[in-house]
Structure 1
C-alpha cells in the first residue's frame, strides 16, 4: 500500500474568525478556518483548503486586485505572503503587534495595515521593480490615534487612507507627500467607530459607530450664522473643511458589529450583535432589506466587486453565508459542527463522508465539492457512532440519548428508531455486512443490544462484559462474527445468529479503547490505554502481533504543565484505529497531535502525520517558551483583557469583570486540546479522513501531479509540432498543440492521427490534458462529419481515464455536457438511417433470383419524402439540425450506392 498521503482538504468547518475576502471576479470566496484558509468556488460548487498553516489562528487576510498575491496575518501579527494562483508560500514576515485590518490599495501597489495605534503603509512586492533584499518594504507610518485602530480603507484613486479607531474618531491620511495637507480628524461619534468609507466620487465620507449612528461628511465651507456681525471673509477657501452634513441612526436593540459599503451602487450593509443584518441605500439612507442569519452576532461582512453577493460570517457557530440581495436568495449556506466531532464514516462509493458530533447533529459532506449536503438533528444528545449499510443507501447512528436511528439517504429522513427496554446510553455502533442486523454497545448495563432492521424489534442482549463497551466491529466480508472491546480488559467475539461466543475472551493488559476487524474477518486489532496495539487471530484465538505506539506518538506540552512532554502520560495511546482496504496497514490516532500509519506484517511505522501546528491549541508544542512563565503561572492563562472598555471583548476572555481572577465558572478557562477522535480509510483506497479539533482533515494521494516530458528541453513551436506529426509522433504532437493552445493546430493534429493509434495515444496522454481533449471534442462534434472517428476517441478516453473522470466530474462537466447533447440530437437520426437501410437489405436478400432495374433500385433506396418527413423537417428550425439531416441523407446515399454497385457485380456474375 502506498503511504505518500498529503493533506488535500479541510471539511467540517467553514469559518472560525477574521474577515472574508472575495476575488476580483466575485465568484470565489476566501474564508479563514482556524490557522488555514479555505477557498470556496461559488460558480463551480467546489472548495479546497490551502496547504500552508499559521502558528496561530488567522485574524485577517487580504487579496490584491490582480488576484495573485494573498496575505494572511495571525493573532500575533505574523504574516505569510502567498502566490494565490500557484498556491505556494513566498515569504514569512512578523509585524510584531496585533493586526486588526489589512487592505490592498485599488491599484495594487501598496497595502495598509492597522497595527496597534499606528497605520503602516507597505509596498506590494512586484517583479517590475529591481530586486530587493526584503520582499516587504515599508513606505510610511502614520500616527495620531489615541487608541487601537479598528479598520483601514482606501479611496478609489489610491491616494488617501481612511482609518477608524476606538478613540471615537476617524482620520484621513495621504499616501503622497504633496497631499499632506489633506490630513484631517473626523470626530463627533459617541462610541467606537467601526468602519469609514469614501463615496464613489470621493466627495463624501460615511462613518459608522458601534452605537448605531452613521454620519455623512462633506468638504464644505462653514455654515453662515445669521446673528453673526462679522464681515464675510475675502477668501472662502480658508473655511473649507470636512464637516458633518447629515446624521442617521439605526435604532437597533444591539450594537453594530460590522459593516461594508459598495461605492458603485451606494449600498451599505450593516451586521448587528443579534444576528440581524440590514441593507441601506446611501446617501438617502433608505432601508432596502432587513433579515437575520440566526441569533448569534454577525462578525464580518464583505461584498463582491459587482455588489450582487454579500458574504456573512458568524464565529459563534461557525456559520458562512453568501446572499444575493437583489433576488433575495442564498448562494451558499454552510455551518460546521458546534461541538467536537465524535465519529466519521465513508459511504461505500467513497463520494461522501458523514460526521457525528457532540452537538447531536449528523452532517453529510461531499468529498469533491467540500460542501455539506444535509444535516440531521433528530438526536437530542451527543452522537457516538456512525455506520453505513452495504449498499450505502441506509445509515445508522447511535447516541447518548438512548436511541439508535436508521436514515434513508435517498429521501433524507429517519425511518427507523431502535431503543432498549430501559433508557441507557449507547457508546458504539456496528452493522452486519448484509444490513439486516444493527448492534449497539452500552455504557450503563455493559450489554450489547441487537435489533432487526426490518422489524425494529430487539432480538437479543449479549451480556458478558463487566465494563462499558467501548467499540464494536463487523468484518466487511460475508461474516456473522461480531467483535467487541470493553474497559474490562477483554475482547469478545460473538456469533450473532448462534447467540454465543465463538472463542474465549481475549485478555489484554489494560483497558481496551478501540477495536477494528480486518476486511477479510480473520483478524482483529485492539488498542489499549497503555499505548499498545495487539493483533489476534479470530480462528485460532491467539495473539499474532503487537505494536508499541507510545514511542511513535507526538504529545506536546500543555500550557499549565509543570513538566516536559517526555514525562507526561497524557495522550500516550490510540483511541481510534482503522484497517486499510488490503488489511496490511493500520491507521491510528488519539488524544495527541499525530496520526500513525503502520505496516502490520513488519510491525513498523510507515509514516507519521502531524495533525496541526496551531499554537492556539494545547498539545501542539513540545517545548514551552520560558519567558512566558511567571510567578503566577503561564502568562497565556492570565487575563490581560481586564482593562478593555468594551464589555463584549472582556466577555471573550476568562473573566467578565475587570480585575476578576476567577470569572464565570461556566466559561472555558483553558485552551482547547488537539486530539483525533476518529479515523477512516476511503473505499477508493486513495484517501483517508481524520476527525480532529481543527475539523475533518482529508489526506489523499495526489495522482494529478504527473510527469510531462514536454516540459524538459524541447522547443515547443508550430514548426516542431508539424515536424513531430510528420514523423508520426502523435502523442508528442498532440501535447505540443495543447501547450501552444492554437485551435487550428490542435484540429490538424487531431485529424491526422490514425484511427488504429487513437487508443494508444489516449492511454499515454498525461491526465492534465484530458480535460482539454474532452472540451475540444465536445466543441467539434456538431460540425464535424467524422462521427465514428470522434466516438472512437470518446470511447478510448473513458476506457483509459474513466476512473479519474468519475472522481473529478466538476472538471470535465462542460465537455461531458457537450458530448451528451451531441448524442441526444444525432443518435436518433443515425439510428433511423441504419434501420431503414437494414429493411432495404432484408428486402433484397429475400429475393435472390429476382432482377431489379438500376433506376428502380436507386429510387427505392433514396425514396421520396413522405408526409412524416415533411412535418418533421418543418418542425426542425435549427440550422445545425438541418445540416445534420443532410449529413445523414448523404450517409444513406453513400450506403445505397455501395449496395447498387454490389448488385451490379452480382448481375454480371
Structure 2
C-alpha cells in the first residue's frame, strides 16, 4: 500500500489502471493486475470497468494543466520578488499609501480610452482640470475626461495626421495647441468649446513637435504667450500665440527636428533631430548666439528629450560623480534623450554623457522625469513603459506592459499648486510641464506644487491608456 494514498484512493487507482489497460486492448496486463489484487469478476464487472475507463486519462490531463498553472504562478512570483528586491522602503510605502513622490504606474491601466480610427501619435494633460487631449493619424484630436474615462468631444480641422498637442498659454487663459503633417499649427480655446481660434502657417514641412514655453523666461516679458514648434523643415520656430506672429526661427539642425522640450523657467530649450544630435538653446539670447551646446552620443535618430527637474539633481549629480548637486534654482543642469538606437542617454548640459540606460528592445518614443525627481519613465515601440531609478544608478525597477502595439507617446499630469487664488497662477505652468515646483520645490515661500499621480500613454493599437493612483 502506498504511503501517499488512502485505501480508497489506492483502490480507485487500481481499478482505473485495469479499466485503462482493458480499453486499450492490453487484456493480459489487465488480468495480471486483477489477479495480483484479487479482484474477481463479481466485484469488478464490465459496467464498473466502463465507469473507471476514462478516469486515469482525465486525472493525467488535469495534472498537466495544474503543472502549467504552477509554472505561470512561479513566473509571476519571480517577477514580484524581483520588484521586491529592487524596491526601497520609500517605494514600498508609496505602493501602500500612494506617496506621490515615489508613486509609479502599474498595469493594468485605470482607463483604456477608445475612439480614434488610426494610431495615436500624441497626448497632453490640461494644466488644471482632469482633461486629456490625444492626437492621431486619423487627423482628429479627442478631448477626454481622464478621471471618468469618458470622451467629451472630437476636434476636426487638420487635414493630415496630428503629430503633437500641448496645453498652456497666457496666464488665466489656457489654450490647446496642435501641429500636423498639413504644415500648420492650430490653437483651440477650451473656454469656448474648443473653438479653433487661430491657425499658424509658416513651416515648410510637417510640424512634428510643439510646446508652450512656461512663464519666466529671462528677458521675455511675453513668455506666457510663447509657443515653440519643431519641423521636418529643420527649423524651430517661436510664436506669439496672442498675435499669431512667428517671432524667431532657430536654425542649426541638419535634418528633421523631431522633438523639443523647454526648461521649467522657459529660458532654455532642447531639441532632437534625425541628424542624430540634440541641441541646447538659450532663448534669452539673440538667434545668432542662441545655440549653446550640441550633444552627440546616439547612433541613430534621436526621438525624444526631457529636462531633468531640480528634484532629480542630487541623484544625477551623484551619477556625474559630483559631491554637491547644483542649486534647485538652476533650470538647465541635466537632460535625457532617447533614440532609435534603443538607448536613453543622460547628459549634463556641458555636453558630457553621464549615463546610458539600456533595456528597451525597440525605438524609444518619449521620456518623462518623475516630478518627485527619483525616477525617469520611458516608452518604446517594444510596447512597454520602463521606470528607471536614478537613485540606483539608473536601474530599471519596473516594466509596465502598456499596449498591444508600439507605444508612441507618454505624458505625466502636471502638478497643481496649493494655496493658489487665481486660475492663471496654476495655469501659467510657472514650472512647465515637467515642473520645478512639482518636484516639491517651494515657490515664493508660499506656493508648493502638488504632484498628480496620473500618467497617460498612446499606442499604435488605437488606445489611450491612463494609469493613476
Q: TM-score, normalised by structure 2?
A: 0.58
1:55-110: per-residue Cα shift (whole Å, max 9, x none)?
xxxxxxxxxxxxxxxxxxxxxxxxxxxxxxxxxxxxxxxxxxxxxxxxxxxxxxxx
Name the CA shift for 1:395/1:235 in 2 (closer, same or farther; >3 Å).
closer
Q: Distance in 1 between matches of 2:37 and 2:12?
A: 19
**Matching residue within 136, 143, 158 for 1:399:** 136
SS state at 1:395 partner = strand
Q: Distance in 1 between matches of 2:3 and 2:190?
A: 65
Task: Please show how residues 677-716 of structure 1 align to structure 2 within 5 Å.
Answer: 677-692=365-380, 693=382, 695-702=384-391
**Matching residue within 246, 250, 256 for 2:53:** 246
Q: Post-superposition shift, 1:239?
A: 9.6
- Counterpart for residue 577 of structure 1: 305
1:373 aligns with 2:136: no
**Matching residue within 295, 302, 305 for 2:69:** 302
1:219 aligns with 2:17: yes
Task: Please show how residues 696-845 of structure 1 align to structure 2 within 5 Å.
Answer: 696-702=385-391
Q: Distance in 2 between matches of 1:427 and 1:512?
A: 13
Task: Please show how residues 54-73 of structure 1 align to structure 2 within 5 Å.
Answer: none
SS state at 1:372 partner = coil
1:574-600: per-residue Cα shift (whole Å, max 9, x none)?
111111114311100111131100001
Q: Post-superposition shift, 1:474?
A: 1.6
- Counterpart for residue 610 of structure 1: 358
Task: Please show how residues 265-276 of structure 1 align to structure 2 within 5 Å.
Answer: none
- Counterpart for residue 339 of structure 2: 590
1:500 aligns with 2:248: no
1:3-43: per-residue Cα shift (whole Å, max 9, x none)?
xxxxxxxxxxxxxxxxxxxxxxxxxxxxxxxxxxxxxxxxx
1:770-791: per-residue Cα shift (whole Å, max 9, x none)?
xxxxxxxxxxxxxxxxxxxxxx
- Counterpart for residue 408 of structure 1: 145
Q: Which has the higher contact order (CA 8 A, sep 6+)?
A: 2
2:131–2:143: 8 Å Cα contact kept in structure 1? yes
SS state at 2:110 partner = strand
Name the CA shift for 1:301/1:492 in 2 (closer, same or farther; >3 Å).
same
Task: Please show how residues 125-144 of structure 1 align to structure 2 within 5 Å.
Answer: none
Q: Distance in 1 between matches of 2:266 and 2:156?
A: 28
- Counterpart for residue 390 of structure 1: 127
SS state at 1:219 partner = helix
- Greater Rg over alpha carbons, structure: 1
SS state at 1:302 partner = helix
- Counterpart for residue 447 of structure 1: 184
Name the CA shift for 1:483/1:368 in 2 (closer, same or farther; >3 Å).
closer
SS state at 1:237 partner = helix
Q: Distance in 2 between matches of 1:688 and 1:236?
A: 72
SS state at 1:220 partner = helix
1:426–1:440: 8 Å Cα contact kept in structure 2? yes
Q: Post-superposition shift, 1:218?
A: 1.4
Q: Post-superposition shift, 1:301?
A: 6.5
- Counterpart for residue 227 of structure 2: 482
Q: Post-superposition shift, 1:544?
A: 3.3
Q: Distance in 2 between matches of 1:437 and 1:350?
A: 31
2:18–2:33: 8 Å Cα contact kept in structure 1? no
2:275–2:301: 8 Å Cα contact kept in structure 1? yes
- Counterpart for residue 547 of structure 1: 294
- Counterpart for residue 143 of structure 1: none
Name the CA shift for 1:410/1:235 in 2 (closer, same or farther; >3 Å).
closer
Q: Post-superposition shift, 1:676?
A: 0.8
2:227–2:239: 8 Å Cα contact kept in structure 1? yes
2:121–2:162: 8 Å Cα contact kept in structure 1? yes
Q: Post-superposition shift, 1:508?
A: 2.6
Q: Distance in 1 between matches of 2:274 and 2:34?
A: 86
1:513–1:576: 8 Å Cα contact kept in structure 2? yes
1:428 aligns with 2:164: yes
Q: Distance in 2 between matches of 1:394 and 1:505?
A: 32
1:419 aligns with 2:156: yes
1:447-471: per-residue Cα shift (whole Å, max 9, x none)?
1111111222111111001111111
2:183–2:201: 8 Å Cα contact kept in structure 1? yes
Q: Distance in 1 between matches of 2:389 and 2:163?
A: 29
1:691-739: per-residue Cα shift (whole Å, max 9, x none)?
1216110012459xxxxxxxxxxxxxxxxxxxxxxxxxxxxxxxxxxxx
Q: Distance in 2 between matches of 1:596 and 1:386?
A: 23
1:352–1:367: 8 Å Cα contact kept in structure 2? no
The alignment covers a number of residue pairs equal to 317
2:342–2:358: 8 Å Cα contact kept in structure 1? yes
RMSD (Å), alpha carbons = 4.3
SS state at 2:191 partner = coil
Q: Post-superposition shift, 1:472?
A: 0.8
Unaligned 5+ runs, structure 1: 1-154, 160-199, 206-215, 249-257, 263-267, 270-299, 305-309, 314-319, 321-348, 354-365, 554-570, 618-673, 704-805, 809-909
Unaligned 5+ runs, structure 2: 40-48, 77-97, 217-223, 311-331, 393-450, 454-469
SS state at 2:36 partner = helix
Q: Distance in 2 between matches of 1:260 and 1:522?
A: 66
Q: Distance in 2 between matches of 1:217 and 1:448?
A: 79
Q: Distance in 2 between matches of 1:203 and 1:463?
A: 86
1:438 aligns with 2:176: yes
1:491–1:507: 8 Å Cα contact kept in structure 2? no
SS state at 2:16 partner = strand
Name the CA shift for 1:402/1:223 in 2 (closer, same or farther; >3 Å).
closer
Task: Please show how residues 23-34 of structure 1 align to structure 2 within 5 Å.
Answer: none
